[in-house]
A and B are shown apart, each in its own frame.
Chain A
Amino acid sequence: EADIYQTPRYLVIGTGKKITLECSQTMGHDKMYWYQQDPGMELHLIHYSYGVNSTEKGDLSSESTVSRIRTEHFPLTLESARPSHTSQYLCASSQLPGGNSPLHFGNGTRLTVT
């Protein structure tokens, strides 16, 4: 079934560790996004990509980095996790081109940095 998959679902990690949040989609979409969201709160765009080798920073400044080597894969990396990075990270994708198209979200990774 075409969907967008995020792993891990939950992650508890100590300060200073390097982490990578995985996001893969089988929807054939070119555009992918990372949002940061405290549970039930506002969605903040932190990174997006229009296609392979394209990455842009979003509206909310983030210490994380992303890469887009393959169309279906858009991992997010934190080189040195801090407690302030504790949040939920949602990956999303949408179709390109075609003008206005809805976002499809993954189930998210809930990150806790101790």
Chain B
Amino acid sequence: GENVEQHPSTLSVQEGDSAVIKCTYSDSASNYFPWYKQELGKRPQLIIDIRSNVGEKKDQRIAVTLNKTAKHFSLHITETQPEDSAVYFCAASKGTNFGNEKLTFGTGTRLTIIP
């Protein structure tokens, strides 16, 4: 089955600086890569996702890059703000025509923004 590794497990960044979280996956057939943000005491929420037919996607201060050859993808947060402090999870899945894929999650990165 799919295996997703996520690094680092904790990350502290000065406010205004950039943060990068990296994930690798094992199944070359995986083609969908979402990122979830979970604030303290709240539910995980999708913040951005990318499909294997594109190499990069950006949404304001958040971007995700995908390297299919190396089987890794990364989350980039620029101009970090205190509200970016949260646990971030990457995930991967292998879509089929029947939609019966399951997401495999990484182990999470606790991001702390230092004011």
**Contacts from A to B (Cβ < 8 Å):** 31, 39-43, 45, 48, 50, 58-59, 90, 95-108
Question: Is there contact, CB below 8 Å, between A100 and B102?
Answer: no
Question: Is there contact, CB below 8 Å, between A99 and B43?
Answer: no
Chain B interface mostly: loop
Q: How many A-B residue pairs have CB under 8 A?
A: 59
* Chain A residues closer than 8 Å to B102, beta-carbon distance: 45, 48, 58
How many residues from B make CB contacts under 8 Å with A? Answer: 31
Nearest CB of B to A92, in Å? 8
* Chain B residues closer than 8 Å to A106, beta-carbon distance: 43
**Contacts from B to A (Cβ < 8 Å):** 1, 31-32, 34, 36, 38, 40-46, 49, 51, 87, 89, 93, 95-103, 105, 107-108, 110
Known contacts A98-B99, A103-B34; 4 additional CB pairs below 8 A are A59-B1, A97-B99, A99-B32, A100-B32
Chain A interface mostly: loop
Closest to B35 in A: A102
